[in-house]
A and B are shown apart, each in its own frame.
Chain A
Amino acid sequence: MSQPDNFGFGEEAALLKASAGKFFADKFPTATLHALVAAEHRPERTGQCQWDAALWREMVELGWTMLAVPEAAGGVGMPAVAVAGLAEELGKAAFPCPLLGTINASYVLAACGAAGLPALQEIAEGYSASLAITDKRGSWVPGDCEVTCTDGRLNGTAWYVQDAGKADRLLVSAHCGGNVGLYWVPADAQGITVHPDAIVDLTRDQAHISFANVTATEVCADGQAALAEAMPAIWTVLAADIVGAAEWQLQTTVEYVGTRQQFDRPLGFFQAVKHPLVDVMLQIDQAKSLVYNAACAIDCEPARAPQYAHMAKASASDCAALASGRSVQLHGGIGFTWECFVHLYFKRQKHSQMLFGDAAWHRARLADIVIGPAAGAVA
């Protein structure tokens, strides 16, 4: 009931979003992205996604990596609606970098209270980070991890670590005694081996990371609650990235069908082309409105944040699938080729769709909140 009408999206947030949009449009056009990440096309390719580390440094200088770091830790402490605005622009540019991982780690660390401050201060100093919290099954339930911590040493493997080759620090969840603890460790620490996954998405990299007697700093001996508290923000920020990428897919396809001529007319004249594009727009706008609603709940009405964030990520995941499918299909033959830029976003969206829970997973959890757990259901 305490949510402001305008989502709390004030002047500062609007300025940040607009300047981020301009930053990427000026410095990182899609052709640059394509040249950077799509040089190698063989489906058997391995290795890391190339990136523009100099531009990343500029983003760090602008303070974008410390937006979600509380002021107490030397960060900017911007509201989640402002972070969502930045994530939308990042998704629109599909810029390869560990920004989302750094923001995600910030939210988990901030949920740890005073214990999270030292690690947050490193983020405020410009170190990037990524979450290493998932098991081999790819379970997104907080605490489903394979790493253990004994006598301050981490052992085991963390899976589906995002932008693992680019992050400076890892925030690791590990079983310790009967609890799930959180640990902060440099990504190049002794005993860590990064095994890059060969993934479809060209704009990210992902790895499984093995830990062999790695000495790590304990952030929190019982981190399950902090992980759960941070999850709505993690889902919402990724949903914002999806919405931005989907807007690129929509506008790029609209432009194409407005110029490509068949049967003596631009393709967009035909309702069989026009109406699916409108459906993409409807799905984007629904997801976008739900993203800002969820972000506003994170800022102002935390009790409702899980429910609204499930809605946002479910809607955004469906949006990713629809916008991707239509963008390739409506580009026709050229859309099926490596040279046409739409495949970059198609693949990024496929990755985002599943990351941190797909639509069905989020709707099942939403139903547990709204309807109540089903009788006889397995937890």
Chain B
Amino acid sequence: MAESAHKDSAEQAEFRQYCRHWLAANRPADPSVRLPLSALEIMTMEQLTYLQAWQKSAYDAGLVGCDYPQEVGGAGRKDCQRVANEEMLAARTPYFPNIIGLGMAAPTVFYHGQPELSQRLLPRLFSGEDIWCQGFSEPGAGSDLASVQTFAERRGDKWVINGHKVWTSLAHFAEWMILLLRTDKSHKYDGLSYFVVPIRSALGKGVTVRPLIKITGETGFNEVIFDDLEVDDSLRLDELGKGWQVAMTTLLHERGAGELQTPRAGGLKNKGGHTTSASSLVEFARTVERSGRPAADDALLRDRIMQQLIRETGLAQNQRRSRVPALLDHPMRVQLQNKLLASEISQDTAALALEVAGASASLYLGDDNAPAGGQWSLAYMNSYGMTIAAGTSEVQRNILGERVLGLPKSK
């Protein structure tokens, strides 16, 4: 049972009881299809339909958008999303499919868009009926995000957009995109502006979505090409030239440090699902033979598996310590390490699992003899998505060195 780290207010305590009862009666049946590790890897309509139905029912019950005002489709509560998240995690519900919408688009539109825009877009975002995607990275703008070249040109009260976005998860299902682009070529940062643009309804009319094939062979994310897409000025967020500041709101919420809590479900561990934890590696090592005995008995492998267990436990205890100010030298020091550590630890655990597997690590998903169904190979390759996306590990080290240690900026 997940108990809260903080003491509940009266409203929160009552809401917690409500969530618990509702989830006990309405937690969805297990899916008939295997779900991917996260919403970003949803590939089939079957997966999407199942997950959209779950998000809609959770929204209708008031478990999504809890802390947003009712005018924009929220529940108008105070600090209750966290409670709903904890209860959904404990109830082992599936995750929500509209992860970009809930985590990044909703707070950005709410804080920087006209109120009418929030009223129009957020209800269908919260319900999951409209899936959202994010148009930030470009072929020439990765870690150096502010160098995006996608350009919007003013024509009367319309904007005409041309450009090329990449690594766009969920674009093949998305109705809407949050879009960072350029409205002025003479200023790097101050020349950026921020829009929300329709994708699905503009397919063939200025928008092309093409799948990008990942290193694993899976599809899952896309490139999106804008060719004279015409949009209304009412879809602009904040002032012209303020795109970078708006993007910071998006990224702050993406990294979990924003003011509005993101609805997070997802305690469900699928049958046949796969986690890259050290404890699952221990179980795996018991099943693999090495030099005539279980790999779990090999002294060298034991040492390396314990290194991973120690790092994992350290990460969990970091999160615990990040809420104890007397044990922090700098308020953001431990929190800002989270993404870097989580991605590198799970990458190294997956890599170690392949060493444990030995020769059978060569077998992939299509081979009946593949250990763990080939999932460790898949996880290892996919782990590079985590160490590259949302600020590469190298960028994360710059941020930590500069913001926490106060070292001179590298740029």
Q: Could you list which residues of chain A lie within 8 angstroms of chain B, going by C-beta atoms?
A: 5-7, 9, 13-14, 17-18, 247, 250, 254, 257-258, 265-266, 268-271, 273-275, 277-279, 281-282, 285-290, 292-293, 308, 311, 314-315, 360, 363-364, 366-367, 370-371, 374-377
Task: Check B394 against A371 for contact (C-beta < 8 Å).
Answer: no
Q: For residue B282, which residue of chain A has the nearest CB?
A: A371
Please choose the segment from B207-215, B299-307, B372-380 that sits at the chain A interface, where 4 or more of its residues have CB less than 8 A away.
B299-307
A277 to chain B, nearest CB (A): 6
Task: Check A366 against B394 for contact (C-beta < 8 Å).
Answer: no
One digit per residue, 1 when the CB lies within 8 angstroms of any chain A CB and 0 when it does not, for chain B 278-294 equals: 00001001100000011
Task: Check A269 against B321 for contact (C-beta < 8 Å).
Answer: no
A108 to chain B, nearest CB (A): 26
* A7-B313 Cα distance, complex, nearest whole Å: 15
One digit per residue, 1 when the CB lies within 8 angstroms of any chain A CB and 0 when it does not, for chain B 313-352 equals: 1110110110110110100011001001100000000000
Task: Check B321 against A367 for contact (C-beta < 8 Å).
Answer: no
How big is the B interface, by class?
A: 35 or more
* A314-B329 Cα distance, complex, nearest whole Å: 22
Task: Check A363 against B410 for contact (C-beta < 8 Å).
Answer: no
Task: Check B333 against A281 for contact (C-beta < 8 Å).
Answer: yes
Question: Given B293, B296, B299, B337, which contacts A285 in the complex, CB threshold below 8 Å?
Answer: B337
Q: Which applies to chain A's interface (DSSP): helix, strand, loop or mixed?
A: helix
Question: Given A258, A279, A286, which contacts B315 in the complex, CB threshold below 8 Å?
Answer: A286
* A173-B285 Cα distance, complex, nearest whole Å: 39
B103 to chain A, nearest CB (A): 25
Task: Check B302 against A364 for contact (C-beta < 8 Å).
Answer: yes
A257 to chain B, nearest CB (A): 7
Question: Given A270, A289, A371, which contacts B321 in the complex, CB threshold below 8 Å?
Answer: A289
Query: Is the CB of B185 closer than 8 A to any CB of chain A?
Result: no
* A371-B401 Cα distance, complex, nearest whole Å: 37
Task: Check B405 against A364 for contact (C-beta < 8 Å).
Answer: no
Question: Given A270, A281, A315, A367, which contacts B303 in the complex, CB threshold below 8 Å?
Answer: A367
Q: For residue B315, which residue of chain A has the nearest CB?
A: A286
Which residue, B293, B341, B401, has most C-beta atoms of chain A within 10 A?
B401
* A273-B401 Cα distance, complex, nearest whole Å: 10
What is the number of contacts between chain A and chain B, taking CB atoms within 8 Å? 146
Q: For residue A15, which residue of chain B has the nearest CB?
A: B326
Question: Given B311, B321, B406, which contacts A7 in the complex, CB threshold below 8 Å?
Answer: B321
Known contacts A274-B398, A289-B317, A281 near B306 by CB under 8 Å: no
* A311-B309 Cα distance, complex, nearest whole Å: 9
Query: Is the CB of B407 closer than 8 A to any CB of chain A?
Result: yes
* A364-B303 Cα distance, complex, nearest whole Å: 6
Known contacts A6-B324, A13-B326, A286 near B311 by CB under 8 Å: yes
Task: Check B408 against A265 for contact (C-beta < 8 Å).
Answer: yes
Task: Check A271 against B398 for contact (C-beta < 8 Å).
Answer: yes
Chain A residues closer than 8 Å to B359, beta-carbon distance? none
Known contacts A6-B324, A286-B315, A289-B321, A277 near B405 by CB under 8 Å: yes
Task: Check A375 against B401 for contact (C-beta < 8 Å).
Answer: no
Chain A residues closer than 8 Å to B334, beta-carbon distance? 285, 289
Q: For residue B285, which residue of chain A has the nearest CB?
A: A371
Known contacts A289-B320, A293-B317, A364-B302, A376 near B293 by CB under 8 Å: yes
